[in-house]
Structure 1
Amino acid sequence: MSKEQTQYSENEEVEIVENEQDAHTSEETAEETNGVVTEESAEQLQAKIEALTAQVDDYAQRLARSQADFDNFRKRTIREKEELGKYASSKLITELVPVIDNFGRALDTLPEGEGAESFVKGVQMIHRQFESVLQAEGLTAMNTVGEAFNPEFHQAVMQVESDEHEEGIVVEELQKGYMLKDKVLRPAMVKVSG
């Protein structure tokens, strides 16, 4: 072999050895890098999974709250509609209660003279009919005399001394009180023993 060929062979061998060393070093670096990348990727993936899981939980809670709010709204709307239907006539009945009072006052003062008896019977019939129509709508008069004073149902306008009743008992009703179904339409004006 010539000197050049020998040198060329040596150079090739050196390059081959260097290339093998570079390849070996590159493989080790790639293995190390892959190991690090894999570990980092697993940690990143785990963090992303935890973040997404937290987000899913948050959305599930929001959905549950929204459904509960909607159910409450639906129930409240149904209850308001029922109450509206139940008490739709309350405004009219409130305006008619003084008419009942006036009928009662008219019947307390009986006229005298010819034909008075038939007139009184006619007014009594109208009064009973009027009361029965209002009762059919749910209006009832309160019984107050002898009951314990209750500010939800009674309006005390006077306190009187009484030997017959204990303290805090209604002794006289000055104006009737009325209930419309289960609500107080007008509290009774009463005198209370003191």
Structure 2
Amino acid sequence: MYILARALIIGLFAFTSLQSSAAEFADGPIIFGYGKHAAVKQDMKIAKDTKLKVVFDVAKTGKDGGVNRGFDSVARFYNMHVANGIPAQNIDLVVVVHGGATNEMRNTKSYQAKYGKENPNSELINTLLANKVQFVQCGQSAAFHQMDNTDMIEGVNMALSAMTAHAILNAKGYSQNPF
């Protein structure tokens, strides 16, 4: 009985510690409802005049039909850097979408016709677009998934291919986020 009680107390302590750690994550200050990040004691300081040009590659679909973690990572990147003093105007982000994630670029009408429900990524994609994040759809993946330009969320741009988009963005000085 003593061992069971002790195990329960230790388990409760561990759970409480995890909860307090999770409570330290917050969204904003740019994208709310997504892109949660934590304050970090930094050894690698970021100069306030830093300019970031980053491209994210998203090919996998959201888990269990939910919001795509790749898109949420873009919101987190944006939020945490602005929260740490980098002006939003110094951050240029592009999301190159291909593979299975292609269907997540579908507008309401097209997604509803294909899946019979709302696109769980629409709100986040539109919020990112409204905050100057660019989305580039791989044309080869769009053709494979039978998705036309008119099927895409307004503001998403079509490229010849994801490979082409990455080459062009690299030539323009964008670094690729490895996650």
Task: State the TM-score, normalized to the length of structure 2.
Answer: 0.29
Greater RCO, 1 or 2 (C-alpha within 8 Å, sep 6+): 2
Task: State the TM-score, normalized to the length of structure 1.
Answer: 0.27
Higher helix fraction (1 or 2)? 1
When Rg is computed on C-alpha atoms for both structures, the one with the higher figure is 1
